Amino acid sequence: METDSRSQFCLHTWGANSYGQLGQGHVEDQSDPRLSDPRLSDPAALQSGAVRALCGGGGHSVVVTENGEVFVCGQNHRGQLGLAHNADISTLQLCTSLSQRVTKVACGWDFTLLLTDCGGVLACGSNAFGQLGVGQTVTHSADPLVVKSLREPVVSVAAGLRHSLAVTDSGCVYQWGSGLFRHAKRALSPRPVPSHLGSTVPSLVPGLDQKTSRMVTAGSAHCVCLTGDGDLFLWGSNKHGQLTTTEPFLSSPSLVKRSLLGGEKVIHVWSGWTHTIAQTETGRVFTWGRGDYGQLGRLASTRGCLVSWGWNEHGMCGNGSQTDVRQPQLVSGLRPLLIGCGAGHSMAVCATMPDSRQNSALAPLR
């Protein structure tokens, strides 16, 4: 994201807030976007430069700035905030334990993966399923740990409910954490479960050795890989059709036919818990998987505005209600530069407007 160093930026958050993951200094759910005021926590929060990345987990949020600093808030019972303690935090705080600049972040349910500017991966939070990638001896960690067995620079990381993925600079894909093991055992029995589906340290994912992978993302129990050629590969649980196949489970990556994507290359991909979104080279957007809460939407032209749709029990669609949203609708007045979301909350970074109203819901677009 290119930004003017003189610009000011503000973080808006909304949705579930039981643990303070909205960074607003309280623990009440918020169905309208409101400013997450950095003055409530660290004085330097978000004022040292533009925001590079936003991500949310089951009940926590992570913000990465352009200068590589990390700010966190929300649930911290397993140390997922990386603050060297296990207390929940309701305002954004700087993660001072990091000695390296961070460029990307991925949040699982109760753990966090951080990608450094040197291509290293740091992990904190729960390791009950081996999702930190540091072996079995650690049950959880409130300090970011180095994933040492990734021996070459990493360019992309992803976190599912209880599993993790990484792509190295050479295009190899690694997986760890046993979050998919139970699904695999049930689907594959009596055949053995492949090692990459239950390893507590990074294990090479088979079936992609003839491809150069560039990006991974993850759902609660499925995995997505985008190659440099614009191909999509999917594996894991297919309970809701998120793998575009009739098989209930795929243990190794399966290519998505381009005919399903209008014959086009994919340039970006995202994943919800049980659905997938892909953008093709001409800007078309395709969605598939679970749709009973309206999460697949029906896209319309947005012209730089923020739209949302899907499950809205905690107000995470930002429309002031808790009713599920079946079709994309504008989120009141926000023109975001960057967006992110967790399991039940949403975030957006916007340029500060001259007449912006601090700590109040924004007026709708006219």
Query: What mean pLDDT do residues 328-354 have?
Result: 71
At residue 347 the predicted structure's pLDDT band, cuts being 50, 70 and 90, is confident
| The pLDDT of residue 360 | 29
Domain containing residue 243: CATH number: 2.130.10.30
| The pLDDT of residue 132 | 98
Nearest Cα neighbor of 196 from 215, 172, 212, 213 is: 172
Residue 231 maps to a domain: yes
Helix (H, G, I), strand (E, B) or coil at 254: strand
294/313 Cα distance (integer angstroms): 12
Residue 46 maps to a domain: no
Residue 33 maps to a domain: no
Which letter does DSSP use for residue 20 in this model? S
What's the pLDDT tens digit per position in 250-304?
A: 999 999 999 999 999 999 999 999 999 999 999 988 999 987 777 776 544 455 6
pTM above threshold 0.75: yes
Q: Whole-number mean pLDDT of the chain? A: 86
The residue with greater pLDDT, 5 or 207, is 207
The rounded percent of the chain whose pLDDT value lies above 70 is 83
Residue 344 maps to a domain: no
Rounded to a whole number, what is the distance in angstroms from the first to the last CA of the chain? Answer: 27
Residue 220 maps to a domain: yes
For the record, the structure tokens of 38 come out as: 């950095």
| The pLDDT of residue 361 | 31
What's the pLDDT tens digit per position in 3-62?
A: 333 345 688 998 999 999 999 999 999 988 898 865 444 445 555 458 899 999 999 999
Residue 138 maps to a domain: no
- Identify the domain containing residue 245 by its residue range: 149-290
280/262 Cα distance (integer angstroms): 9
Nearest Cα neighbor of 111 from 141, 134, 80 is: 80
Q: Which residues pair with 346 in a beta bridge?
A: 14, 341
Residue 4 maps to a domain: no
| The pLDDT of residue 366 | 23
Residue 248 maps to a domain: yes
Q: What is the radius of gyration, based on Cα positions, of the chain?
A: 20
| The pLDDT of residue 326 | 67
117/98 Cα distance (integer angstroms): 12
Task: Give the number of C-alpha atoms closer than 13 A to the C-alpha of residue 294, restricted to the C-beta side.
Answer: 16
Nearest Cα neighbor of 337 from 10, 6, 114, 5 is: 10
- In total, how many domains does the chain have? 1
Residue 226: partners with Cβ closer than 8 Å, 6 or more residues away: 213, 214, 215, 216, 232, 266, 268, 269
| The pLDDT of residue 32 | 87
What's the pLDDT tens digit per position in 141-200?
A: 999 999 999 999 999 999 999 999 999 999 999 999 999 999 999 999 999 999 999 999
